[in-house]
Structures are given as structure tokens and as C-alpha cells.
Chain A
Amino acid sequence: MEKKINVAIYSGIIPAPNFIENLIKLIGDEKINIYLFGNKGSVKYKNSSIKIFFTPQGKIKIIYFVFFQLFRLFIFYPKKLYKLIRNYKVFTKSGSIFKSLSKILPVLNHTPDIFHIQWAKSLPFWFFLKEIYGVKIVLSLRGSHINYSAFANDSLAKNYNILFPNVDRMHAVSKKILLKAEKYGASRDKTDIIYSSLDLGLLKTYKKNNFKPHRPFRFLSVGRFHWVKGYQYSISAFANLKKINKNIHYLIITNNSISEEILYQIDELSLKNNIEIVHPDSQDKVYEIMRQSDCLILPSVQEGISNVVLESMAIGLPVISSDCGGMKEIINYGRNGFYFPSRDSVALEKLLLKVMNLRIEERERIIREGEKFINQNLNTTLIKSQFHDFYKKTTEIGI
């Protein structure tokens, strides 16, 4: 019987963002144990292959926790403790020593075969696991950490250049993001492109069955208020469209409070009555609103692959996305959705009008194509086998 692989999926917090949670739930099974390290919120997993080793919060709790973990390490893995003491710099180089140890010690007490880092900025901190303890390090190339943070931070770019070539294997969420990572020394040969996994079972229950748009026409965006989401462009486009077509409505689903920038723009363009901002308290409510909408707009200036676009396609909500990041890998223009040049609100306005004026048959065709794409390329069986293969290849390195 094949030995089970122990994979730590590290995002820093438990539960992780939705797209990482989907991955965690998907891949833990009889072949793979999933270890989660980090500060814990409220989360329960039905899957017994998922094990949580959480770090408490609060100064006193952390001190107590560190002493307990040190004692455990001393009793069960004295060699690991000896190596840690010899390489004391790994826990003294950044911030508080206790805080660093509270992150490191649980990992040493439950050392995985593979340490899968979700956010590249954490790589410099955790790289010692490979250098000192021989743990395989894999990195997911996703989000701002690859897309733009290193542009504005020379020391981060330098760290990437040193560490990326030495990472055991990489997972890229799109072809485009791999191109970016290659500039920092990521190797194409050591990288697997695996798209995000979706909970298709759940999404199926929210599938649209009525293709006729509402009146007023309901545009929707989903995402936090952050400049990278490019809401200023969608609001400008919406405002211009409103001048010629008054029967439209724009709803933004977010999990944070509105930014001054967008608040100002909505007031400036007198759109208070036409743009609605909502904060649903569950993912189910988000999907329900998506089902009740007529078109999803993704105005971002940068993305890896937007999960909300994938979910919309699975639900049957027509999509207009900017051409940022890997979005063109998903959207086939006019076939399963539409895209416009990122930051071009004039082009977006034209597309909004185009989607509004689609005949029912055309809407249905685009929706069907979207669903087909998702079912063919992002079904859970496929993604799961891609990840299993990915981890298997990682463990075989150096054997």
C-alpha cells in the first residue's frame, strides 16, 4: 500500500480564503493527509484527513504555548530542537521571538512531507524547513504577492530571485501568473498550472433556470473594496450607460466597508440610488444574489484567475471581465463571456450595453457554453487528480 503523503497547506489563517478552503476540502483523502497551521477561527471539517494544529492569540497564551511546544519537541524530537537552536536565526530574524516560535514549533512537532505555501511573501520565513529539515517546499503562485507586490518592493523581489529557483515545485493558478513568476526565477519545468477548484455540487443548487433578464437590468460585482478591484472603472462605465439607459441597477457584494474613493465617486456621479452595496453574511447568500442577477462585472486591474467569474459561469450568470491576469484563459470572447481591456471604462460601457441587448437565445447559448467550460476544465475529479499528481511528483524529487 502506498504511503500517505502529509501535506501542510499554509495560508497563515484558519479558515483560509474560500478558494484555498475549497482546495483543502478537495484533496484530503486516503492518499493525502492535510495539516493546517495558523491562527484559528471557527471552522469544522468533516474530512478526517484534515488535521488542525493551531496557534493561539494573545501574549500570555503564546508564551505558554511556546513552552509547551518546546517541551514536546525536546521529549519527542530532540534532534530537531538541537538543529533549531543551532540555527537560531530562523526565529530571531523577524519580529517577536515568541511569535516566530509559536508559528515554527507546531510545524516541527508535526513535520509534514510537503509544506505548501499559499502566499509567496511567506516563503522567506519558511524556507528554512527545506534547508535545515529537508521538508519539500511548494509554492502557489497567486494574487498580489506575484502580480504586483514585488514591483514596489526591491527587497521582496530580491528574495523571490534567490528563493524561487530553489523551491521544489510550484503551482500556478494561471499561465499568465507563471509568466510573471518566471521573471523572478520560477521554472516552467517545475510548475504545474492547475486552475481553482469549485464546489460544483453546491453551485449546482444555485443554477439559474430563467435566462430572461430583470427590469431594471441587474449588474453585479463581487469583491472587497480595494484599488486592485478597479471599481472606479465599472462605476464610470455604469454612470455613462445610465445617461442613455435609465433602467439599470448595479449591486456590489463586499466583505469590507466602502472605500473613500468609491464613496466619493458614487456621490460625485449622483448614483446613490442606483448603486447598492451589500454585505451578505454567508456564501450561500452570495450565490443566491448571483442567481438573481443578470450580468457579472469583473473590473479588476489585476487578478490571477478570479474565482467569482468561475462561480458565475457555473451558476449561469453571464460574465464581463477585464482582460487582466489569466482571465483570457477562461473567457472565450462572445462564446462563453466577454472581456474588455483592463482600465478602459469606455470599452466596458459598450460591453454592458451589448450584454443588456443580447437576445434570450444568445444569452442562453453563452450561459450554456460557460457551464460546459467549467464542467470540462474545473470539475473536482480533474482538479483533485492534478493536485495528487502534483504532490506525488514533489515527493519523488531527489529520490
Chain B
Amino acid sequence: MKIGLVLFKTPSFSEEFLISKIKILQQGGHKVILFANKNNNFNDCEVVEMPRVSKYFFLQIIKMTLAYFTIVIQCPMTVYNFLRFEKIDGKSFRQRWENLYLGSKILRENLDWLHFCFITTALRKENIAKSINAKMGVSLRGYDINIYPLKNHNCYSGVWKKVDKVHSISYSLLEKAKKYGLDRSTKQEVIFPAINTNRFKNKKQRVSFNYKNTKNTIDILTVARLHWIKGLEYIIEALAKLESVNFKYTVIGSGIEYERLMLVINQLNLKDKVKLVGHIPHKDIVPFYEKADLYIQYSLDEGFCNAVLEAQSMGVLTVVSDALGLSENVVDGETGWIVPKRKPSLLARKIEHIISMEDKKINIIRLNAIERVQNKFNLNRQKKYFDSFFNENSFQNK
């Protein structure tokens, strides 16, 4: 099959979930074409750069004229169909022709599937798949469902009407999409993210926890962008409430809220204990997990979170918030712990509780987590599910 994947930009190294998705599809014998607004020298498959909008009016007019001329010569019927479908949907004359320009690079391709890897990439491109007789798929991820519709009411109504199949990375995300209008009868499938379980393996035999002895220092780790949605400020507030616990907290990731976090670190006198180490390439991240005793992901919202899978797979004890996908990622009390979000006092108490637990109980949780991730969130399993997602024969185009 020929599958077109639509993204804003080609995947960077940190977006391993997208790279692995492309590899899985290629291994399954499919031809993958990536449609992206920006190509960062991505070489794993064919990349088609999408038309961009120029800030100079006359340049834009020239670009649009050329695009229309080319596509009308290449595939006149597709153009006719696309404009017809857009008209049926009630789009204005101007919107129709703008959308034709935006989708012109995809419209000339002969695809079996057109899959929008983020649902926001499908906006204004709802009629492309139907115009080229391809099936249309969308993936639901955190920001697209949790934040974007709050600012853009009813933004996905057009997508829900046209989409053939929806992929979600967690059940809770899928439920939330239904709140925003996803029809229950639309085909939908939850395919959890997966990690390379061979790479994130618990190689080191961990020594027993003996934090009751206050001379020991507990190494705490979070891998996250410095962004409010990751709840890092609340983690730091919780750490400041820890009583008689020696700890070192490392945050891997960069982002716009460095200043905000530096303020809270300074205000709570944690300068010697909390380090924001910035961006670390994903290939170099394993030693940080090896060193860590406790991994915390206290996000206000998450689609699922691969870093939590990696931590569990490495045998690091994991505490997460009850944000959407995280409560499916970790089984509370069995493979880690779930704490209600925005409650730094509760998070602090939970950390103290974990530290006071018997080694035997702790190791059971650690082993449960390793086993669950290795069995349920490995790449082979994901490959099987993605194969079936695109291979379904019983489809009828809407």
C-alpha cells in the first residue's frame, strides 16, 4: 500500500514515536510518503514539502497561480472533485481555492491511505483523501485534543465527518475526542505508543533502597519539555516539602519556561538540589535512567508519555499524575504510583511513602513495571497493530 503521512515538520530525533511509526510501516511492506511543511533533512522515506504561505501578497499570488496551473494539467478530475466536495461542505469561493493551494501537493499523489499524524494537520484538508480515492486516518495526540479545541471551538467538526478511521494513543484521549464531537460509530483504534525495550533494559541490578538512612541521596529524574503542561513547577514545590529526605532532582529538556522554573528553584532554596540540564539527545539518555532511583511525570495533561514507559522499562520507580494517558501508562500501586495533579503536598507525601516502603514490596512493583512495559509496549506489538490499522479490507469509502 502507498501511505501518505501528514506532519507539520519531518520528525526530529526526539520524536521517536513518529520515526518508529514510519519504520514499522516500511517493514510491513508499505511505501511511505511524508508530507510536511518543513523538511529537516529527513532521509528515512520520501518527503514532499507542502506549499507555504508567503507574507508577500504578490509572491503568494504567483505561487498560487503556478500551483493551480500545474495541478489542473496533472489531474483535472481530482481538482474538479475537490472543489465540488468543498462547495458541498459550504466553503466560500475563496476558502475552496485557498484549500486547493494548501493541499495541491497531496492531491497529485495516488495514495491508498492519507493519514494525518496530528489531527490539527487535517484542518482545511478534510476533502483531500476523498478526492484522490484514498482512505483518511487521523491520530489523536495530547495537545490537539486537550488544548487546541479550547481556543478553536468546533474546529474538528469537518474532520469527524470525513475521517474513515481514528487512531488514539490512549483510551482517555479517545473519550475526550468524543466530547468534542467524534462519532462513536466512526472506526477507531487505540494503539499505545511503544519503545525499544531492548535499548531501555534494566541492565543494572539495582541495590536495595535504604533511604531511611538519611545519609543516602535519592536521584529523581524527569524527562520533559520546560512547559507548563508538564507540571514541573508543582514537582519542585513538592520536593521543597520533603522532610528529612536527601535528594537530587534532574530535569532533562529545554523550553520556554526556563526562567519560571529557575525562579521557583531559587525561591524554594533548591539551587543545589535541582538541576535543569537542558536538552539531551535521545540516544544519550539511557545513563540518566540508569542513575535514577525515582522517575516523576507530574503533567497536567499527557497523551501517554513515552518517557514514563522508558523509565519503567529501565526499572526506575515511577510516580505520575492522574492526567489522561498517564493513568493508563502506570497501574497505581502495581507498576508505579498515581497522584492527583496540582497537589504538591500529596506528591511529597507519596515520595516519602515510597521511600519508607520495604525493599521487597518496592522490587515487586519494579518488576511488575518492567514486565508490563516489555510485554505490552514493545515495538513488535505496535507493528502488529499498525499493520492491522491500515490493512483492514472491509472499508467502504464514505
> Closest CB of chain A to B251's CB: distance in Å?
14
Contact in complex: B264, A301 (CB < 8 Å): yes
**Which secondary structure dominates chain B's binding surface?**
helix
Select which of B147, B150, B263 is within 8 A of A148 by beta carbon. B263
Q: How far is the CB of B285 from chain A (nearest CB, A)?
A: 24
Q: Does B187 contact A (CB under 8 A)?
A: no
Residues of A within 8 A of B300 (CB): 264-265, 268
Per-residue CB contact flags for chain B residues 264-299 toward chain A (1 = under 8 Å, else 0) read 111100000000000000000000000000000000
| B97 → chain A closest CB, angstroms | 30
Q: Which of B111-165 contact A (CB under 8 A)?
A: 146-147, 150-151
Give min CB distance, B273 to chain A, whole Å. 15
**B342 and A346 form a contact (CB under 8 A):** no
Given A152-B259, A261-B228, A342:B267 Cβ within 8 A: yes
A346–B345 touching, CB < 8 Å: yes
Q: In residues 225-265 of chain B, which contact A (Cβ within 8 Å)?
A: 228-229, 237, 257-260, 262-265
B201 to chain A, nearest CB (A): 36
Q: By the criterion CB–CB under 8 Å, are B237 and A152 in contact?
A: no
B310 within 8 A of A: no
Q: In the complex, A345→B342 CA distance in Å?
A: 10
Chain B residues lying within 8 Å of A263, measured Cβ to Cβ, are 147, 150-151
B301 at interface, CB cutoff 8 A: yes
- Which residues in window 308-351 of A have CB below 8 A to B? 342-343, 345-346
Complex Cα gap A331–B229 (Å): 33
Whether A267 pairs with B150 at a CB distance below 8 angstroms is yes
> Cβ of B228 and Cβ of A227 under 8 Å apart?
yes
Interface residue ranges of A218-243 to B (CB < 8 Å)? 227-228, 232, 236
Distance in Å: Cβ of B398 to nearest Cβ of chain A = 31
With A264-B150, A267-B150 as contacts: A227 and B267 at CB distance below 8 Å = no
Q: How far is the CA of A302 from the CA of B260 in the complex (A)?
A: 10
Contact B263 A147 (CB under 8 A): yes
C-alpha gap A153/B266 in the complex (Å): 13
Enumerate chain B residues within 8 angstroms of A343, measured Cβ to Cβ. Answer: 237, 264
Taking CB atoms, residues of chain A closer than 8 Å to B151 are 260, 263
Query: Closest residue to A266 on the B side, CB-wise?
Result: B150
A80-139 at interface with B (beta carbon < 8 Å): none
In the complex, residue of chain A having the shortest beta-carbon distance to the beta carbon of B342: A236
Decide if B147 touches A264 in the complex (CB within 8 Å): yes
CB distance from A283 to the nearest CB of B (A): 28
A156 to B370, CA, bound (A): 45
Query: When the two chains form their complex, are residues A264 and B259 in contact, meaning their CB atoms are under 8 A apart?
Result: no
Chain A 232-257, CB within 8 Å of chain B: the 1/0 string?
Answer: 10001000000000000000000000
Residues 336 to 362 of chain B near chain A (Cβ within 8 Å): 342, 345
Measured CB to CB, the closest approach of chain A to B105, in angstroms, equals 30
Q: Of A153, A227, A342, which is within 8 A of B260 by CB?
A: A227
Counting chain A CB atoms within 10 Å of each CB, which of B151, B237, B342 scores highest? B342
> Which residues of A line the B interface, CB within 8 A?
147-149, 151-153, 227-228, 232, 236, 260-261, 263-265, 267-268, 301-302, 342-343, 345-346
Q: Interface on B for A, CB 8 Å cutoff?
A: 146-147, 150-151, 228-229, 237, 257-260, 262-267, 300-301, 342, 345
Beyond the given pairs A264-B300, A302-B267, 20 more chain A to chain B contacts, judged by CB atoms under 8 angstroms and listed by A's residue number, are A147-B263, A148-B262, A151-B262, A151-B265, A152-B262, A152-B263, A153-B259, A236-B342, A260-B151, A260-B228, A263-B147, A263-B151, A264-B146, A264-B150, A264-B301, A267-B150, A301-B263, A301-B267, A343-B237, A345-B342
13 A-B pairs whose Cβ atoms sit less than 8 Å apart in the complex: A148-B259, A148-B262, A148-B266, A151-B262, A151-B265, A151-B266, A152-B263, A153-B259, A227-B228, A227-B260, A263-B147, A268-B300, A302-B267
